Amino acid sequence: MEVIRFFETPDGGSAFENHALTFPTPFTDAYGNTYGLSRTFEVASAIFAELPNALDQHWHGAPNRQLVVVLTGRLEVETSDGEIRRWGPGNMFMADDTGGQGHKTRVIEGPAKLLFLRVAADFELAALVG
């Protein structure tokens, strides 16, 4: 599973980076099924959101450092370097550009229902995915 992070660059812009979410901890349930778990992490708060079809937000920073899980719909995010990435149901990204120019967000198939997992200022994505 991939987590794409967008973040504030040193020049005040924004850019993407890819991370592979791993499942390093094997777990066997009461029925004998074994599957992998990710590392644990703390969530400061969680909230669901429904973004309307055709929502088009100009440049803005993320209100919090947050992992975002797309439940329904499709959206795209554009960073200041002009790169555009798209996500649909089951995809996840990390909005981590709380300062600077930020990013643009557009709902291209909606409504888009999202789960925002707000993380602490000291959260390290590398510790989760590494």
Reading the chain (130 residues) residue by residue, the pLDDT tens digits are 899 999 999 999 999 999 999 999 999 999 999 999 999 999 999 999 999 999 999 999 999 999 999 999 999 999 999 999 999 999 999 999 999 999 999 999 999 999 999 999 999 998 888 6
CA 92 – CA 79 distance, rounded (Å):
17
Query: What b/e readout covers 15-42, taking b as 16+ CB neighbours within 10 angstroms?
Result: bbeebeeeeeeeeeeeeeeeeeeeeeee
- Helix, strand or coil, per DSSP, at residue 127: helix
Q: Which residue has the tokens 């590398």?
A: 126
Length of the chain: 130
**Homologous superfamily of 2-129:** Jelly Rolls (2.60.120.10)
3-state DSSP call for residue 130? Answer: coil
Percentages (nearest 5) of helix, strand, coil residues in the chain: 5, 55, 40
Q: What pLDDT sits at residue 1?
A: 87
Residue extents of the structural domains in the chain:
2-129
